Structure 1
Amino acid sequence: MFSNGIRFSVSDLSPPTTRILPTIYFNRVDISLYDVQFDDETGARIPIPVSITASVVAALLRFQIICEDFGVPKHRIRVIATEATRTAINADDFLAAIKSGTGLSVELLFKEEEGRIGALGIASGFSEMQGFAMDLGGGSTQFTWLISKNGNIRLSPKGSFSFPYGAAALTRKLAELKHGKNEHDADQAVAEFRKEMLANIVNAYHSMQVPQEIIEKAKKEGGFPLYLSGGGFRGWGYLLLYINQVGGRHYPISIINGFSAQRSQFEDTDALKHVARNAREIFRVSDRRRLQVPAVAFLVNVLAEALPFGIKEAHFCQGGVREGILFQELLPSIRKQQPLEVGTLRFAPPSVETIHALLLAGIPAPSKTDGRAFPQSISSELLSSFVRTLYVHSSMSKESASTAALYSTSAGLMSSTHGVSHTDRALLALMLEERYQGELPPREVEFKHSLRSILTAEQVWWTRYIGKLGLLISEIYPAGIVNEAEPRVVLSAAWSSHLGKKKNKLGLELIWSIQKVKKDPMKLREALENHISVIHKVGKRKNWIGGKDGWGMAVHVMVVEEDIV
């Protein structure tokens, strides 16, 4: 039960998908427990009205019935309440009414606990992270530093610092400071309040014992990364997404978790306030959120000034108190699992490990002479996820397989996988689209270009190469089954500086070795030689990313016969 609304959800924490906190039911009731505690005429604080209490009880009773439908036992239902409930004048009566009407006990999160749980919720949305975590609710905002690595999470030993600077609370406070005053006096009152906010955030920064590794990284990179959750910040994130999706811009992914904004955009408060005032419709931004945008902008401006070295970038996440409550129940061994790997487990072909090893064999090891290497930004976990999903769209027609694969990580099968960055979503989608020969109808070509635009040219080139490698592997093993005693093919790859007609081009050599036999009922050599051109074309200069002067390398492909068993 948050300040701006009450959210109901049913999550499945059973293996093997525990790490990604699958949500099998979600609903939100638009009851603002913060707003109802203020008299519309005088602005004075009042108890939660009896009518609102009755509505909350009715909503909880409906949720209990839904839980029965999903087979959730009553003792597994938890009701969590935050700032608005905790500070209500009649909090005890409100909680007693819920207990009497539903039989459910409400767990009140205290300030420090709310911040810690919220930080865990943020951590659930990323494989690893290091920076400041902030949760902007309606009544308060929580602030701490957080390091998450290998399933272990470190927070400030001072806990999370809580301020009464929630989106709704700040909106009301700024209105009160200006009410009944002329412009000069109103500006002065707001300036004094800003000084107070600034001092409080600066004091919190100096009190939370920020690790030197976070500080040194901020010095080196020009600012701290922020990891943001809560309705107020999510609204800010959706405004940024809107700006990046209109006026000729086509940012391709509309999932808030994993969306990132650089300092220049994040701190452009005037642009976001203008959009909130004038845009007719903004995806996922309600009228209430629009009214709160000036208050969030006020907080962003103060925050940018308060942090030494400034803000480098902001990462938005879906995780908050709800996800934090669930994430804290998980063992470190579960937390450290890679979300995309977990989310693709159900699609794995029978010989997934062998096919994964075959794919990796097609990638050259780092060069010991000239430093050439496969980009670290395309992780082994991402490649294993590609192998797991190599066949998932194979039953579709040629007309739809590439398109379905292209949308699979942003609006399809894997879109709900919690904890995946937009970069990884784009990489996997492009690899899968290339695996189905990369053929798209004109309508979808623009979306493909948009996905490419959030990656580097090097990353895009490798998605083409890996995708085509996957295409050939699926041609050789169409059922995803490999007889390890009699493999049909062995792969090897190496860097080369002697490719092309003049033997002076940089690139890589890919060798497909097949078993030397007198009879070849599969016509394997013929099949391979008919398809190797798709990889060879990736290395053609005209197909480099950015054209002939763009990023790419030559690819020389050979098929040889030898004893491979």
Structure 2
Amino acid sequence: MGGGVDYPRTENKVGSCRKDDKHLRGIVDMGSNGIRFSVTNLAPPASRILPTLISYRLDIGLYDAQYDPVTGEQIPIPDEITDAIVAALLRFRVICKDLKVAEENIRVIATEATRTAINSAQYRKDIKKATDFDVEMLGKEEEGYVGALGVASGFSEVSGLVMDLGGGSMQITWLKLHKGHLSISPKGSVSFPYGAAALTRKLASLRKGKSEEEGDVEVAKFRAEMKFNFIKAYQDLEIPTDMVEKAKAEGGFPLYLSGGGFRGWGYLLLYLSQIHGRHYPISLINGFSADQSSFEDVEKLKKVARQAEKIFRVSDRRRQQVPAVAFLVNVVAEALPHGIKVAHFAQGGVREGALFRELDPKVRNHDPLEVATKGFATESADEISDLIQAAIPKPSEAGGRAAPKSVDKHMIHAFANILYVHSPMSKETASTAALYTTSTGLMATTHGVSHSDRALLALMLEERYEGELPPRDAEFKLSLQDLLTSEEVWWTMYLGAVGRVVTKVYPAAVIQKKEPRVKIHAEWASGLGKHKQKEGIRLIFRIKKVHNDPMMIKESLEDHIKDIRRVGKKKNWVGGKKGWGIYIDIKIQEVKHLE
């Protein structure tokens, strides 16, 4: 979207590096199902969203490589696997050198598959000798802690249970992230040998050489053992009382899930949501959520994994592990007191956790969308944000009327930052490009943003460009709206229209602080409308009375506030006349002085 437009360059110059840039981090995450290589720029102001310069994966299953395909017995990591990893590490060193990553800022981090290898010590020694890289081997508890940090990096706020499902192991803990400050179980995390690959192998071994009935007995014993272990872990983790009470009241715990095993499960759910009914609009796993009934519908997901010809982002290896993951999901659902309310899927893991660990709590508290849009902000973005914010009435004293919590100052600031980006485009393309900004466009790679927030910003931007779409994109807009409440959808229409009016008053995106052209005031009011019978928002545009005003502010406002007024008419409410909306009464006041 938006090809040919010369977008502003980001302030932190994510794509450019000085010699041995101290902010660059090269990380190799040696997992059980694959080895991931990446270079990230932690330079301010964008460090909160962990901007990635390069990322790729070596398809080596380090866990599977340690088992004889015939006997099933564990064997040392084969020399040919070590040689392939050494070659990949040497290649990564060259890439890091090209990007000017300081040698001391390159880390090789290993987890369960390396920790439990028969020849772990020799394997790491061989890598050190051939590459001069030290392999940092995380212990069970630390792996869980770092993985939890990786999950936290993918959300603005977290409060719930965190589970990381790798190939060889699974970790569980609880986590809170609030205003950049992290709280985690004093026990760290509890680790189990229930990784997707390990569990697949275990379940097969329980049935090997046995009748179906005998196999069922062995599997049932193992299931009971797993359930007992999960219940004990729940007790040992010392989950905060307030989190438990909230789970009791709301019908279960929120789960935050990471690791390849759970991501595969998430992609199966995403696949189902994109082939039935209105297609789910966002194909990013981070921030994707599933309710309890969908998450626990293991028979449907197993059937899809067996029968579907091709599933987006689910490899054949992941398909083979689906029955084991389904088994795990069933046991977890049974073991958790108070059940599961919702499952949130995270892209973050050890790599993101190691990076997030370096950030100061103040930096962690930065709003990801606000950070990501900062590089596109005009010089008056703060003033424009204040102007749009002024169109949102403060909560009524009775507490009955207020804008949704999701439409907060951070969302408005992000909106203001990127308000003018698509303005050079034609009317035929601007709304469409704006609509895709957060899913496949400029903001698609932004780490730490929920799908609902992506939908909010995209819809406001699309409305800012008059909201006119060709038929092929109208369905996509509806699917984005499906991610929000009717109330939130209405506010995207309203604020998008307000943003459009602001751009007409300030087409160059420059506000002279000492000589503003307009002031906005909004309040909840009753007695509105022709017959003084309506309740809603009283929106006032105050302008300075100027004789023969060359900017024609009054005329411009009169020409465009009708777009805002239209949002307040019942026929345009979300769901029609009987749907959700707010009446809007708009006035233009001319004054001698703008205070």
- TM band (smaller chain): over 0.9
- For 2:12, the equivalent position in structure 1 comes to none
**Are 1:431 and 1:466, in contact at CA under 8 Å, matched by a contact in 2?**
yes
Q: Structure 2: how far apart are the matches of 1:247 and 1:493?
A: 42
Q: Structure 2: how far apart are the matches of 1:393 and 1:345?
A: 15
**Are 1:340 and 1:381, in contact at CA under 8 Å, matched by a contact in 2?**
yes
Q: Structure 2: how far apart are the matches of 1:368 and 1:330?
A: 39
- For 1:254, the equivalent position in structure 2 comes to 283
Question: How far did residue 265 of structure 1 move?
Answer: 0.4
Q: Structure 1: how far apart are the matches of 2:523 and 2:407?
A: 18
Question: How far did residue 209 of structure 1 move?
Answer: 0.8
Q: Structure 2: how far apart are the matches of 1:174 and 1:399?
A: 56
| 1:374-453 correspondence to structure 2 within 5 Å | 374-453=403-482
| 1:555 lines up with 2:584 in the alignment | yes
Q: Structure 2: how far apart are the matches of 1:369 and 1:229?
A: 42
SS of the aligned residue for 2:56 comes to: strand
Question: How far did residue 247 of structure 1 move?
Answer: 2.5
Q: Structure 1: how far apart are the matches of 2:541 and 2:134?
A: 64
**Are 1:513 and 1:564, in contact at CA under 8 Å, matched by a contact in 2?**
no
Question: How far did residue 551 of structure 1 move?
Answer: 0.3
**Are 1:339 and 1:418, in contact at CA under 8 Å, matched by a contact in 2?**
yes
2:487 alignment partner, one of 451, 454, 458:
458
Question: How far did residue 500 of structure 1 move?
Answer: 2.8
Q: Structure 1: how far apart are the matches of 2:524 and 2:228?
A: 56
Most deviating of 35-44 and 516-525 = 516-525
Question: How far did residue 564 of structure 1 move?
Answer: 3.0
1:438/1:83 CA distance change after superposition, 3 Å: same
1:175 alignment partner, one of 204, 209, 233:
204
Q: Structure 1: how far apart are the matches of 2:408 and 2:199?
A: 42
**Are 1:121 and 1:321, in contact at CA under 8 Å, matched by a contact in 2?**
yes
Q: Structure 1: how far apart are the matches of 2:278 and 2:496?
A: 27
Q: Structure 2: how far apart are the matches of 1:120 and 1:433?
A: 34
**Cα shift readout 1:1-52 (whole Å, capped 9, x = no counterpart):** 0000100000000111011111110010000110010111100110011111
Q: What are structure 1's unaligned runs of at least 5 residues?
A: none
**Are 1:490 and 1:564, in contact at CA under 8 Å, matched by a contact in 2?**
no
- For 1:204, the equivalent position in structure 2 comes to 233
1:249/1:518 CA distance change after superposition, 3 Å: closer
Q: Structure 2: how far apart are the matches of 1:249 and 1:402?
A: 21
Counterpart residue type for residue 487 of structure 2: E
2:345 alignment partner, one of 281, 294, 316:
316
Q: Structure 2: how far apart are the matches of 1:126 and 1:315?
A: 10
Q: Structure 2: how far apart are the matches of 1:464 and 1:13?
A: 35
Aligned-pair identity in percent equals: 61
- For 1:156, the equivalent position in structure 2 comes to 185
| 1:36-435 correspondence to structure 2 within 5 Å | 36-369=65-398, 371-435=400-464
- For 1:35, the equivalent position in structure 2 comes to 64
- For 2:545, the equivalent position in structure 1 comes to 516
Q: Structure 2: how far apart are the matches of 1:163 and 1:432?
A: 46
Q: What are structure 2's unaligned runs of at least 5 residues?
A: 1-29
**Are 1:464 and 1:538, in contact at CA under 8 Å, matched by a contact in 2?**
yes
**Are 1:497 and 1:504, in contact at CA under 8 Å, matched by a contact in 2?**
yes
Question: How far did residue 370 of structure 1 move?
Answer: 6.9
Question: How far did residue 75 of structure 1 move?
Answer: 1.6
**Cα shift readout 1:397-421 (whole Å, capped 9, x = no counterpart):** 1111111110000111011111001
Q: How many residues align?
A: 565
Counterpart residue type for residue 84 of structure 2: S
Question: How far did residue 368 of structure 1 move?
Answer: 2.3
SS of the aligned residue for 1:226 comes to: strand
1:488 alignment partner, one of 512, 517, 524:
517
Q: Structure 2: how far apart are the matches of 1:416 and 1:201?
A: 35
Question: How far did residue 328 of structure 1 move?
Answer: 0.6
Q: Structure 2: how far apart are the matches of 1:89 and 1:242?
A: 38
SS of the aligned residue for 1:509 comes to: strand
Counterpart residue type for residue 430 of structure 2: A
Q: Structure 2: how far apart are the matches of 1:501 and 1:518?
A: 30
**Are 1:131 and 1:227, in contact at CA under 8 Å, matched by a contact in 2?**
yes
2:535 alignment partner, one of 506, 510, 513:
506
**Are 1:114 and 1:321, in contact at CA under 8 Å, matched by a contact in 2?**
yes
Q: Structure 1: how far apart are the matches of 2:178 and 2:538?
A: 36
SS of the aligned residue for 1:484 comes to: coil
Counterpart residue type for residue 105 of structure 1: D
Q: Structure 1: how far apart are the matches of 2:522 and 2:105?
A: 53
- For 1:564, the equivalent position in structure 2 comes to 593
Question: How far did residue 501 of structure 1 move?
Answer: 2.9
* TM, length-normalised to structure 1: 0.99
Q: Structure 2: how far apart are the matches of 1:191 and 1:394?
A: 62
Q: Structure 2: how far apart are the matches of 1:340 and 1:299?
A: 34
Q: Structure 1: how far apart are the matches of 2:483 and 2:497?
A: 21
SS of the aligned residue for 2:53 comes to: strand
Question: How far did residue 496 of structure 1 move?
Answer: 2.3
1:175/1:370 CA distance change after superposition, 3 Å: closer
SS of the aligned residue for 1:386 comes to: helix
Counterpart residue type for residue 531 of structure 1: H
